[in-house]
Amino acid sequence: MHKLIFIALVLLILSGCGPERPADTVPPAENDVEHLDTASTIAGVWILDQVNDTLFDMTEVYGFTSPQPQLQLSPASNKIGGHSGCNGFGGTAYFEADKIVVPEPVVATQMGCGGNVWENDFFDRLMQIKAYTLNGDTLQIYGNGDNSMLFLRKKLHPLEMNYWELTRVNDTLFDIKKVYQSPNEPQPTIRFDLEKKQLGGWNGCNAFGLDIELKDTYYTSGELFSDARGCYPGWSEKFHRILKDNKKYSIKNDVLLLESRGGETLEFRKVE
């Protein structure tokens, strides 16, 4: 179940689908330097700590161990995503002067938890953001009336700070469109979630997930889980083999290089 949720969340955020900017949503002026700097600094993952100035514990809401809700904010790509404590979600957001506009309801996975009362309230709050303040690693979001949510920045490992899009295989430029002879296939993309101990993403045909452990490098545990859409199997099998047989990784100048024990390599570029 956790793999299914992780794969669904990756697909939601990778899809990049969203409505056009509404007519009454005005982009910041070019000289609005303070806002632009602020918007760039809120990029990242934020963990919910307080609701209406009261400490919030997701486990107390559901009566069983559950992860705290979190937001993933990506001003550069106008995206918002995260986890409600029950379901993963993703959608479009516009980052304006001291305000975050979510023009349409986010898209979420469909796991049921406690009648989803909390989740519905959480999503409503995201739709009604009136202002925000940023103080170091603390983000406070204000809504209608006295509604507020306080988030703390999640400290991320360099592997999980971004999505990674495949650019080279064994030092050769790679284009998935040439593999499938299709102009519509997006490049393979991966994302690490070290809290959940998972590596997931898109192999160019199907979404996939893989359990991992991180030490000096990452080690796979268990079998890779993938969607079952039919595509030429040779490429996906090769891609999965290199990911599973990882020997070491390196990150330099926004480039991630994975090397397998067999000497094969995958090179990725950082994407928002």
The stretch 6-18 carries a mean pLDDT of 50
For 178-202, give the DSSP string. Answer: HHHT-TTPPPPEEEEETTTTEEEEE
Q: pLDDT value at position 194?
A: 86
- State residue 27's pLDDT score: 37
Confidence tier at 122 by pLDDT (50, 70, 90): very high
The pLDDT confidence band at residue 7, using thresholds 50, 70 and 90, is low
CATH topology of domain 158-271: Lipocalin (2.40.128)
The reply to whether 2-153 and 158-271 are identical in fold is yes
- The mean of the pLDDT values for the chain is 83
Residue 214: strand pairing partners: 218
pLDDT-based confidence at residue 31 (cuts at 50, 70, 90): very low
Query: Does position 154 have pLDDT exceeding 80, yes or no?
Result: yes
pLDDT in tens, 75-121: 988 999 999 988 889 999 999 878 899 999 999 887 778 778 899 99
For the chain, domain boundaries: 2-153, 158-271
CATH class of 2-153: mainly beta
Least confident of 10-19, 203-212, 222-231: 10-19
How far apart (Å, rounded) are the C-alpha atoms in residues 201 and 11? 7
For residues 100 and 139, what is the distance between their CA atoms, to the nearest angstrom? 12
Residue 202 in this model has a pLDDT that exceeds 50: yes
Other beta carbons less than 10 A from residue 157's beta carbon: 10
